[in-house]
Structures are given as C-alpha cells and as structure tokens.
Structure 1
Amino acid sequence: MPPARARSRRKQQAQLAERLRAEGRSWGEVAHVMRERYRVNARVGMRLARGWSQRQVAEMWSERWPADRKSDKAISYWELWPGPTGYEPSLTVLGRLAELYECHIVDLLADGPDHRSGDGAHRSHAALAPLAGEADERAVEKAAEQVAALEVHEIAAAVTRWTARLGEGRRGPILKLSAALSLAATLPDDAEPEPDPAPPGPDYTGVWRSRYLYTSSSRGPQQGEHYVVLRQDGSRLLGQSLPHTTGSRLELTLTISGMVASGTWSEKTSPTGHYRGAEYHGTLQLLVNPSGREMAGRWVGFGKNFKVNTGEWDLTWVDHAVSQRVVREYHMRL
C-alpha cells in the first residue's frame, strides 16, 4: 500500500483536476496547472490531469493498440525524458499518447525549449496583446467609440499625460507606437472574415468488419474475418484488428483517392491455427461504395509455394465511434 503522504497528494491532485474540469478547463489547461503546481514535466502533468497511473496508461494503450503492447515501464521512460534515464518518445508515440489523453500533441511537449523570442513577429504580437488580442470584443468597441469622440489634439494631450506618468526616457516607445499606427492606417483593411474552408471529405474512421477469401491447398476455399479499427489521417487510413478469438492480427495501410482505396495488408496468423503463426503480406485495392459504408475489391499476396495468390476482400462499416467502451464491444466477437 502506498504511503499516506502519497495517497494524500493523489487525492489533492484528483480534487484539483475535478474542480478545474468543472470550470470548463481543457485537459491541456488542467495539465498546465498540474505542471506548475507540482513541478512535473508536461507528460507527467497530463497523466496527473487525467488521474491515471502509469500502469493504467499502459493498459489502455495495449487495449487500443494490441499489436503494440506497452508496459508501465515504457510509460515511465517517456516521462523521464529528457533526463538521462528516459527514452525520447517518437512522433508516433506522442500522437498515440495525445489520443489517449484527448489533448494536442503540443500539450505533451509544453515544457520544451521556446526560442520564439528570436521571432520579431512573435515579439510584436506579445507586446501588443494587452492592446488588442487579449481584450474582449465589447471592450474594443467601447474604446473605439471613445477615441472617435475625441479631437486629435485631445488624444495627443491624453497621450502626453500618459507618457509623463511613465517617467523619463519613455518617449522612444511612444514614437514607435505612433509610427506603427501611421503605417497601419495606410495598409488595406483585411479585417473581413476569411471564407469558410471547403467541407472535408468523408471520414472513414470507425470500426469495420473485414472479410477476405482465400483457397487452402489442403482445405479448399476459406475465409478470414476480423473487426478492424480504421483511423483516418488526411487521405491515409490506418487499420488494426481488434483482439480475435484465434489470436490472429491484421494491419492495413490504405490511401483514399476519390472512390478508390489502395495500399498494403499484413497478417500474423493464429499461433495455434493451421498456419502456426505464419506472417503474410501483400497489396490491396478496394472500390468505395458511394454510401461510404462499404469497400470491396481484391487482395494480392505470396503463398508458401512462391506463387502469387489473389482473392476477394471487403470491408463493411459497423460503428463510427472508436471510444474504448465501443471498441471493447468488438473484442473477441470473431
């Protein structure tokens, strides 16, 4: 059993996270508070924000990506980085952690080096934030109304009094601001809202039922079935099968171009089945049904006899949701 002090701290952290979430804070914002208050790095802060242990994170990872299982020690190594005993997480690892934590990948690197001070545009934005970006819209409108009601000499007098209160040696910044405002007045007005971007294409992310046909030299026509989680990244679809009763594992990497999905497949067969855990791979080309709920085509691969084999393959949409609760419903269903 953990010491009483550790239990008390975890309880405090959980209560803090619960209060911040009740205020409407995002996970990234909660993690920032955890990082500042408990002096931890961004990856630890995000885990504390969720109230999870390293073992819980590892278990959720292994459940979501069964072909790439992780232990709590792996989570620990990533959290210890960039220390001498830590391991640097790859972009793939950071992307998956962000998916588990429901945050942006940047939230997991928020404690990294910041060299934006060398960017003049960033410095100008930061300097003028109190005058513009940080003010609410109504406050900006009110200030504009007040300025519009003043004569130029009245505005000049107000600025003169403000400069005097700032003290000696402050004339330089005022002159810079004056020059910047003069330049801004000559530039075209680009305050019009940008047009809405074109609507995105179909989203194929979800749970799909995969079925392919093949012929065994000793058993005749056969078929393989899996429930597969497809995750879309732009025009790419990455698929990984959910736990199967036989222990076989299937992975898909597809590219969507119009109504055609093409790419590669790989399967590690059941360790106790006819092929004794053999690994096969090949290419795949599918036509996407206009409904976006079915894909059908053919696979090509190599058999043990060094001949090129082919057969039918189809994917049928089952569920859009890919939450842990939904995904678990399809574990061991085939």
Structure 2
Amino acid sequence: MPSALRSLRQEQREVVAAQRADHKTWVEIAALFSSRYGVNRRAAMRMVHDWSQRDAADQWNARWPADPKTFKNFSYWELWPSPTGHAPSLDVLGRLAELYECSVSDLLDDCANFRSTDPAYRNKKNELSRISKGVVSSSDDGEARDLGELISTLELTDVNELARLAAEWSGTLSGSSNRRELLLKLSAGLSLAAASPALADDVKPADSALELSSQREGMTGIWRSRYTYPSSGRGKDFVGEHFVVVRQQGNKLIAQSLPHSTGSSLRIELVVDGSVATGTWRETTSPHGYYKGATYHGTLQLLVDPSTRRMHGMWLGFGREFVINSGQWSLILESSSIGKNAQREYYNKK
C-alpha cells in the first residue's frame, strides 16, 4: 500500500512538471487534477503545489504566525460542502488564494452555479454566439449593424463567458494553427491597445472616474512585485521579485523598482478601470545574470483586490526568437509610505 501511494504522488509530480514546462498556470493544472483524480478545487490547488495538508498548514503558519492553522483546518475546508466539512470564511479564502497563487473564485470554481437558470443570461449567451458566428455580413449596413450588436453584447458579457467563446472559436481553426499562441497574440495586442495613451482618458467623469476615485484611492505605496517566467535555455520556470514604488495619478499607476541586489530594474505603467488594471511592463535584467542585462517588455493585466492591497493576473511578452511567453504576476502592498526612510528599508532586497 505505501508503495502505491508513493507511485501516485510521483505520477502527480510528473504531471505538474510536464504542465509547468508547457507554461500552464496552477489553476489550469488544478482543473486537470480535479478531473483526473476526482478532487475539488481546494484540494487540487494544494496538490499541484505538492503539499500535504500538513505542508500547507506549515506554509500558512510561516506567512501568518499570528493566525496558526493545522492540517485539520485544511481537511475541513477541503471536505466542505459535505456535512463533515467547515465552510472557509472570505478571509480564509483570500489567504488560501495568496498561498496557492490563484483567485478566490478559482477555489470555488466547482461549487454551485445557477446563472444558466436566469432567462436573461441564457438569451445573452445565445445572442453572443449568434453574432460572433456571423459578424461579417454581405452588405455594409448589415456589417455595421452586427458589429454594433456585438459591441453592445460584449459590454454586458462576463469575462469567463468570453473566454469560453474564444476557446470554442479557436477549436474551429485548422489543426495546422497554433491556437494557444494565436490567442495569446490576440490578447497581447488587445492589452497593448487598451494601454494606449490615446485611450487612457476614455472614461466618463460622471461614472467611471468618480467610481475609481471613491473606490481605488490610496494605491500609492511600496509594493512587492512577483512574477513567474519560463527559461527555455534552462528548461524550467523561475521567479522574479522586486520592490517597486507605486505612484497613483488619478486612474494611472506608475511603478518603478527600488535598487535591487542583482542590479535589475523594472518599470510598470497601468490604467485602472474598476477592478481591472491593464498596462505594460519593461525590465532590464541583471548585467551579471543569465540574461546579461537584456531588456524585455510586454503587457500586463491584473485584478485589483477590493481591499486595494493586492493585485494579481497575467503577463505576456516576447522571448528570444519572438516566441510569446506568459506567466502569473502579483503585486502586494508592503507599505503605504513612499518616503525616503521607507524606501531605504527595501533597498537591495530580493
């Protein structure tokens, strides 16, 4: 029996290694684990990190020693919603999301979803599918009408539904196309367009800007920037971290890294619209490191936590030979002060 358990654990490690080598996110691998091993998303997110429940509790306690947990807590949260489980609070879910590098919704992805019982949701879904299949008409008037309908429908459509439709559309392409790379390229192009200075002021003072000023104030501060990136030459993923000074100017965020122990530097420019921050990044790598001071840049889109103390999302950029790479990126507020004394505390830290 013990050897069988070890064999299963080894199999899962090999699955994770292969998926990460293919630049899959923790969330994508967890979805695979849920299907293959019959576990819920909270258990799957722990398993893809190769943690036992005791390991996960140790990771929690290392981050939040003032709020210690045991393996039993993780067992109860993973058993929920069965009668023997305990429902995790929103605070717990937020910390689990930070621990597993995902969103709160990813931990509840397998829970009940009754949106399809809403007639308006079904009608909108059917309308979007109809328009997306025939947006180009034989006449100019027909094309303009369908395009206008598409734009109106997109404005009201959930991003998860858009993702599903995009994946469905990519499935109709010929097998010779690299569909994943095409979708990433489209996403990169749209993110660059959204971050264009020409669109930065494309908000209505009476609604979007007012909502932003009331809900997204106080994002100036020192933040810990953390992202994962693939290295084709070394055959595995790595983590890049910087402490950055973020300055807020209305709905714009400008982040510049503090002096780094390796000599690398990072600049991020974002435009915040509601709970989404979209923009660009540019990094000059360490002159003494593997990339010898090379400069890379790309696009970035992050979800802003309601507390405005955390942002997480994905980056896109071109690597060597113009291959599109992507990975997770998070920003966590460390200090609301950006004074000289506060900045010095984070100099040359990794």
TM-score range, shorter chain: 0.3 to 0.5
Greater C-alpha radius of gyration: 1
Superposition TM-score, scaled by structure 2 size: 0.45
Superposition TM-score, scaled by structure 1 size: 0.47
User: Bigger relative contact order, structure 1 or 2, given CA contacts below 8 A and separation 6+?
Assistant: 2
